[in-house]
Amino acid sequence: MPVTQSGSQPLAILGGGPVGLTLALLLAKRSVASIVFDARTIEQARTDQRVLALSLGSLQTLRALVELPATALAPIRSVIVSSVGDFGRAVLDDDELGAETLGATIRYGDLVATLSAAAEANELITLRRPHKVVAVRQSPSSVEIEFENEQRISASLAISAEGFGHTGAASVSHAAVVADLELTGIGSDEAFERFTREGPLALLPLPSSTAATQRRALVWCMKTAEADRRIGLEDSAFIDELIAHFSENALRVVTLHARRRYPLHEQARDQLVEHRMVYLGNAAQTLHPVAGQGLNLGLRDGVALAEQIGFTHVEARDPVQALHRYAQSRRVDRAAIVALTRFAPAFFSTRFSPIALARSIGLTALAVVPKLRREFARLLMFGVRF
Ligand SMILES: Cc1cc2nc3c(=O)[nH]c(=O)nc-3n(C[C@H](O)[C@H](O)[C@H](O)COP(=O)(O)OP(=O)(O)OC[C@H]3O[C@@H](n4cnc5c(N)ncnc54)[C@H](O)[C@@H]3O)c2cc1C
């Protein structure tokens, strides 16, 4: 296979999830070859049906690399942000922001399948799955990567895009209950971010809504024990508990499709670089899904890392020289989004009345101050930019 400019050793991407595959495609655009290893088969990855809200910035990044299947995408044109029991309600709207759309949703499995097909068709990318990494050993001039099947390769860099991976967390205190719903009583292309004292609850657009019913993906975060209880409820009881969290009187759930549960891991690495090993995406930071920021932030990691490696490639330098610049360039955006996703669920879950008042004032400010609303939406759509 083709090799990177730095010599005879390939550049290894550990993890072919959405971030690892996007990075491989971004590198290939800069004429940098890579090998991607993933522990799962593509069929296994396809079964992950979680719905991801892609920001406008992420859509632009992905559309420059692949053709996202139109039938798998649902546009998000407005997001209604509110909090149970608090006054104030803000609407982030694409017209007001002068954007074509705020973003779009796609299922994880559809996104990975599209990126995988593009990677397989690209002569600068070698994709190996299932190929599980079990160890990485570093020396001054290379890394040795060992796989479950006892094969080994030597590489110039080990780029970890393994997600939360094998960092070995024990039990997780919170989980998200997800399900597809058919609803009446809401506008088309509208998304909801509703904060409850138990945790945030999102309704995200899905493709194939009709004039009669709107299809939405539910992402409802709560303590793990509550999630287990709600997964076990009869459909009608689950729907009653869900509807009780909304103030929209006209809202009705017509159909509830299979519920699933995702454990909510959270971590953020202090150091993104360990000599020839570098982390991005969920391997760098695994976030609470509030406001749908994890993948969006991970894709921005990929853009920054590809750019820095691209510079070393053009100048025929060792790619290890790219890593500290990458880490430096990601400092502010990471810190802002990690802080937002940690702060928001705690801020909206407390019943302490001064904070409840601050919540209402914050939502009202967002509702009545267009500049604040635009800045907040830009942060969600593009992260922190200079
Ligand atoms: C319920 C839920 C809803 C979400 N909603 C949103 C949203 O709306 N918007 C958003 O931006 N984000 C959202 N996220 C977060 C988003 O899913 C993640 O940020 C994103 O999947 C991270 O991509 P990644 O490629 O870094 O990691 P992953 O998707 O975890 O992929 C990691 C890959 O590495 C592979 N791997 C792991 N270990 C090894 C190994 N040892 N060897 C080889 N391969 C390995 C895995 O098989 C996998 O393919 C949500 C998360 C959840 C749980």
pLDDT at residue 3 tops 70: no
What pLDDT, in 10s, does the model give residues 232-284? Answer: 999 999 999 999 988 777 889 999 998 999 999 999 999 999 999 999 999 99
**Residue 210 neighbours by CB distance under 10 Å:** 9
Residues with CB under 6 A from ligand 1: 14-20, 37-40, 45, 50, 52-53, 132-133, 161-163, 165-166, 176, 178, 219, 262, 281-282, 289, 292-296, 298
The one-character DSSP state at 168 is -
Answer yes or no: are the C-beta atoms of 34 and 9 closer than 8 Å: no
**Per-residue confidence band for 157, with pLDDT thresholds at 50, 70 and 90:** very high
pLDDT of residue 143: 97
CA-based nearest residue to 280, from 297, 262, 264: 297
Ligand 1 atom with minimal separation from the 166 CA: 38
pLDDT at residue 354 tops 90: no
pLDDT at residue 108 tops 60: yes
Ligand 1 atom with minimal separation from the 162 CA: 34
Q: Exposed e or buried b for every residue in 108-132, given b needs 16+ CB within 10 A?
A: bbbbbbbbbebbeebebbbbebebb
Helix, strand, or coil (residue 197): coil
Using the mean position of ligand 1's atoms as its centre, give its distance from the Cα of residue 17 in Å. Answer: 6
Nearest CA owner, ligand 1 atom 3: 289
Answer yes or no: are the C-beta atoms of 162 and 136 closer than 8 Å: no
Structural domains of the chain sorted by starting position, each given as residue range(s) with its CATH number in brackets: 11-169+266-337 (3.50.50.60), 174-263 (3.30.9.10)
pLDDT at residue 374 tops 90: no
Mutate to test the pocket of ligand 1, among 25, 47, 52 (most ligand atoms within 8 A of CB): 52
**Per-residue confidence band for 381, with pLDDT thresholds at 50, 70 and 90:** confident
Rounded to whole angstroms, how far apart are CA atoms 274 and 67?
A: 35
pLDDT at residue 84 tops 80: no
**Per-residue confidence band for 6, with pLDDT thresholds at 50, 70 and 90:** very low
Q: What are the C-alpha distances in Å from 256 to residues 176, 216, 236, 272?
A: 16, 10, 9, 41
Nearest CA owner, ligand 1 atom 35: 15
Ligand 1 atom with minimal separation from the 53 CA: 8
Q: How many CA atoms lie within 13 A of 324 on its CB side?
A: 3
How much of the chain, in percent, has pLDDT values that exceed 70? 94
Using the mean position of ligand 1's atoms as its centre, give its distance from the Cα of residue 367 in Å. Answer: 33
Ligand 1 atom with minimal separation from the 131 CA: 43
Rounded to whole angstroms, how far apart are CA atoms 229 and 212?
A: 31
Nearest CA owner, ligand 1 atom 53: 262
Transcribe 217-247 into DSSP letters: EEEEEEEHHHHHHHHTS-HHHHHHHHHTT--
Q: What are the C-alpha distances in Å from 217 to residues 28, 52, 102?
A: 34, 9, 17
pLDDT of residue 332: 94
Q: Give mean pLDDT, residues 336-346.
A: 83
Work out the mean pLDDT of the chain and round it to a whole number.
89
pLDDT at residue 15 tops 70: yes
- CA angle in degrees (0–180, nearest 5) for 108-111-117: 135
pLDDT of residue 148: 95
Using the mean position of ligand 1's atoms as its centre, give its distance from the Cα of residue 279 in Å. Answer: 13
For the chain, state the CA radius of gyration: 21
Nearest CA owner, ligand 1 atom 15: 294
CA dihedral 282, 283, 287, 292 (to 10 degrees): -10
Higher pLDDT, 2 or 32: 32
**Per-residue confidence band for 171, with pLDDT thresholds at 50, 70 and 90:** low
Ligand 1 atom with minimal separation from the 38 CA: 44
pLDDT at residue 221 tops 90: yes
Transcribe 11-39 into DSSP letters: EEEE--SHHHHHHHHHHHHTT--EEEE-S
Using the mean position of ligand 1's atoms as its centre, give its distance from the Cα of residue 295 in Å. Answer: 7
Ligand 1 atom with minimal separation from the 133 CA: 42
Using the mean position of ligand 1's atoms as its centre, give its distance from the Cα of residue 282 in Å. Answer: 6
Rounded to whole angstroms, how far apart are CA atoms 50 and 219?
A: 9
Using the mean position of ligand 1's atoms as its centre, give its distance from the Cα of residue 380 in Å. Answer: 19
Using the mean position of ligand 1's atoms as its centre, give its distance from the Cα of residue 15 in Å. Answer: 9
Nearest CA owner, ligand 1 atom 17: 295
Mutate to test the pocket of ligand 1, among 35, 36, 38 (most ligand atoms within 8 A of CB): 38
What pLDDT, in 10s, does the model give residues 184-207? Answer: 988 888 888 888 888 889 999 999
